[in-house]
Structure 1
């Protein structure tokens, strides 16, 4: 289903979330041959608003993160801590 139309199939007691399956499919280079036609029914303005909002949320979250250098320094310091203390 994914290879043909990009549909994710899940089963009872599925251990993976849909995002996990997408990461797996795209990570191994698998891309759908075509899109699901149900996507054509979506209101383009509503989709655009949703994507714009998601992009804004990502930008806001990214702006609040420390720089890579600061993060790595803090992570290394944390990893060097003696767990017995």
Structure 2
């Protein structure tokens, strides 16, 4: 949880995402998925890398898995430990 400052969005996927103290300070809840998204956006903006959390049943529709992720997640449910594909570029 962190003190809510200008520009900080409340997480729409959390029930009661903001808490107001008796002295009027407002704090907003931060969950791992939100923090992961924010860190990824920051690192991508800095030209470093990008990552995300996905699921076969995402709460946030923007976290819907792509075809590769869907196939991998289904195999993980069946007990697979790893999944990869190799793309070969033909000249």
- What TM-score, normalized to structure 2? 0.22
Q: Which structure has more helix as a fraction of its residues?
A: 1
Q: For CA contacts below 8 A with separation 6 or more, give which structure has more relative contact order.
A: 1
Larger Rg: 1
